Structure 1
């Protein structure tokens, strides 16, 4: 039943690709899988949790691609490409929590208004105001993307998913959402070059089965922490971006962004009414 709800969410997410945008995020075809299952993993980009592009491994520009199962680490960059549009098709061999991570680096040139909109959509109002003061019509941005997704294989047991991976910019969640109940709190921490970053803008999205996207803007405290509740069933994404003027003369700005996706389902036993997903009392 969890398989069905999360798969329907994915189907809704995969509709209507158009143009590139700022957020990159990993999305498995199913967040609840069994040992021995083949997992299809997607790398998507889009604004406000609305996918606009999908990338195969050949176009992902990945500098690192890893699977973490507790203390076990698997380098997925040598796993071969998926035959379809997925980033990866992988047979899961261990039970428990599995954390996928991809690091992507590139640079892009954006038209002035698009660049300003991207800054504003990430809540970077001060940086947007500074950019508006410039007469430039195009901005070159050097970016670093750190994307994670957490899934449950058979059981939601596992550890080390809440440990830093040593990236320049990353989001860590401190509770296991697959063992949580409706209304439980989740604490997320944002680290920049290994240290908690204060006053970072964090956008927490949840996308329900009927396609409703609910965003919540948060600001990190002095320990780099933000707090939110699991208030709806669906797919969650935590997103944060840090932008600075570039020290590289070939670029105007340098950005570091991180996303973390996972699913939350409040009901363990069938039947499930799907009421929250807009299907009334259908089972």
Structure 2
């Protein structure tokens, strides 16, 4: 028997099929702590500083949308236009993990300066040099991008452990924020192609109970691990971005010079 029972609203709400680029992408649960039998409701958001628009459930816009708990993994079912994108009843106690991977999107930078500002913000200045070495200095490039998001929700006691789901890039919580000792922060590991991503910038968005957001960064060690400082009663979005050259076939088909892969993880720390 499935652990997850979709909640189907009476009215489906239409929404745009596009996602804004250059902003964070995250899964935003309405409540990070639930009782067994409660409905897990979560929005798919795009925005800045942990604030953004909610996007609808549109099947063509994602490669993967799953809900995992214990040893069970099930696809998130919905109707086109459902917003929030996730609404399902969870009957079992334990840590629930939402996984969402978008399709590829593409864009052309509005200016060379906006390209430089973005890669600098993401601590990837090497891209500027590589762009110049390819004879493209001063040229605003075309890019493809995709999002690879996860969220941790406690059901009942919330016991359980996050793990890798085989995403091309992802952030794994090495501790359970709902059951572990968070006094010294929470350790996370950034993976790329299932391998630790060392010396990677992790951006942290810390939202307090009043909705105020503080932004900071940490850098992973050689094992791809970084410690995120946390405070009880706050919720968190952490993200890390891979910049790379697209494969030859993709570059030829799309005309893109660069590809960005966005990993994010959301969770809360209980009082």
TM-score, reference length from structure 1? 0.78
Q: Cα offset for 1:20?
A: 4.9
Residues 130 and 233 of structure 1: CA distance in aligned 2, closer, same or farther (over 3 Å) = farther
Residues 201 and 128 of structure 1: CA distance in aligned 2, closer, same or farther (over 3 Å) = farther
More helix by share: 1
Partner SS, residue 127 of structure 1: helix
- Is 1:136 the counterpart of 2:135 in the alignment? no
Partner SS, residue 176 of structure 1: coil
Partner SS, residue 178 of structure 2: helix
* Structure 2, gaps ≥5 residues long: 1-18
Native 8 Å contact 1:82 1:89 kept in 2? no
Instruction: Tell me how many residue pairs correspond in the alignment.
Output: 243
What are the Cα deviations for residues 8-58 of structure 1, in whole angstroms up to 9, with x where unaligned? xxxxxxxxxx9653321001111111222222210001233232x321111
What are the Cα deviations for residues 153-195 of structure 1, in whole angstroms up to 9, with x where unaligned? 1112123x2x211111011011110124552331111111011
- Is 1:71 the counterpart of 2:76 in the alignment? no
TM-score, reference length from structure 2? 0.81
Partner SS, residue 177 of structure 1: coil
Partner SS, residue 58 of structure 2: helix
Partner SS, residue 111 of structure 1: coil
Candidates 153, 168, 182, aligned match of 2:155: 153
Residues 256 and 119 of structure 1: CA distance in aligned 2, closer, same or farther (over 3 Å) = same
Alignment match, 2:164: 164
Question: Partners of 1:89 and 1:231 in 2: how far apart?
Answer: 28
Residues 84 and 105 of structure 1: CA distance in aligned 2, closer, same or farther (over 3 Å) = closer
Candidates 102, 105, 109, aligned match of 1:104: 102
Native 8 Å contact 1:22 1:118 kept in 2? no
Native 8 Å contact 1:181 1:230 kept in 2? no
What are the Cα deviations for residues 198-230 of structure 1, in whole angstroms up to 9, with x where unaligned? 111111221112222122211111111111232
Q: Cα offset for 1:245?
A: 2.5
